[in-house]
Amino acid sequence: MDSRSGDSDGRSRERRQLSTGDEVSLPLELSCTLGGVVVPARRASLEGILPNGLSPLPIAPRVGCVTLVGIQYHRVGHDAELDPYDEFAVIVPAIRGSETSRLHSRLLDGELGGYVHWLPVTTDASVALGRELWGYPKERAQITVTDGPRGLRAVVGNPDESGEAIQFEVSRPRTGLSLRGTELSSFTVRDGELVRARMRLHGEVSVGPPVGTSLEVAPELASELGLRRRPLARLYGSRVRARLGQGEPVSPS
């Protein structure tokens, strides 16, 4: 069920009802703490994952990358419409609309974004939110995201079960980069169509070398993505705000 309303700031919002009975308004307002790692991966493996119209962002010959992010949501919705939850994102940086294999040509000719490959979360309402509104591949999972004085730790699955867990730790940096309304695009597939959603970010995120970073990835996922062992970079943000718009079908090229 859809309806429209307005905020005190004059911005029009669309109300959407989920199958769980929860209601949210779009664009979706979020605040969170996040931490993650960027890991090199075999380009051939990533090409097998991406849908038609997207190609991996090249960082070296035959090498792309994957971003693994642990997110601890503090507020979900303009009026805190959903309970807070934890999330783990597996995102493949990708380019839409460019066929050349050269990096600079891709960035000039195509649209840079991130393909959401896997998005486990901790609540049923957040599964419905992602799947029904955007087509994100969300599923309920055991996830723990902990932000401490030394940094952020994310665990998916049970680390006591060999080969089942994914976990990483990123140290808390001393300085951050202001996002100042930075806009990012995410891609997914819904009902067989390539869908793009735009997200505007505010706050600070630090991006730097993987100092003080540890990473363990379940062998099955590492093989599927063609991940290499050592991260390229880490990222961290403790007070990030985001506004996620409604997804829109886009042509593959």
| Residue 230 confidence (pLDDT) | 92
Separation of CA 72 from chain center:
12
| Residue 2 confidence (pLDDT) | 54
Query: How far is 168 from 156, CA to CA, in rounded Å?
Result: 9
Query: How far is 187 from 180, CA to CA, in rounded Å?
Result: 22
| Residue 204 confidence (pLDDT) | 92
| Residue 103 confidence (pLDDT) | 52
Helix (H/G/I), strand (E/B), else coil: 168: strand
Residue 148: pLDDT above 50? Answer: yes
| Residue 109 confidence (pLDDT) | 64
Residue 1: pLDDT above 60? Answer: no
Q: What average pLDDT score do residues 29-47 get? A: 97
The β-bridge partners of 178 are 204
Q: What average pLDDT score do residues 58-70 get? A: 96
Helix residue ranges, H only, the chain: 43-49, 103-109, 124-133, 219-225
| Residue 176 confidence (pLDDT) | 78
What confidence category does residue 8 fall into, taking pLDDT thresholds of 50, 70 and 90? very low
DSSP states of 124-146 as a string?
Answer: HHHHHHHHHHT---EEE--EEEE
pTM for this model (two decimals): 0.90
Question: Please, what are the domains in the chain?
Answer: 2-249 (2.40.400.10)
DSSP states of 77-117 as a string?
Answer: TTTT-B---EEEEEEEEEEES---S-HHHHHHHSEEEEEEE
Residue 13: pLDDT above 50? Answer: yes
User: Each residue of 207-231: pLDDT tens digit?
Assistant: 999 988 999 999 999 999 999 989 9
| Residue 246 confidence (pLDDT) | 93
Q: What average pLDDT score do residues 93-104 get? A: 70
Residue 174: pLDDT above 90? Answer: no
Mean pLDDT of the chain: 89
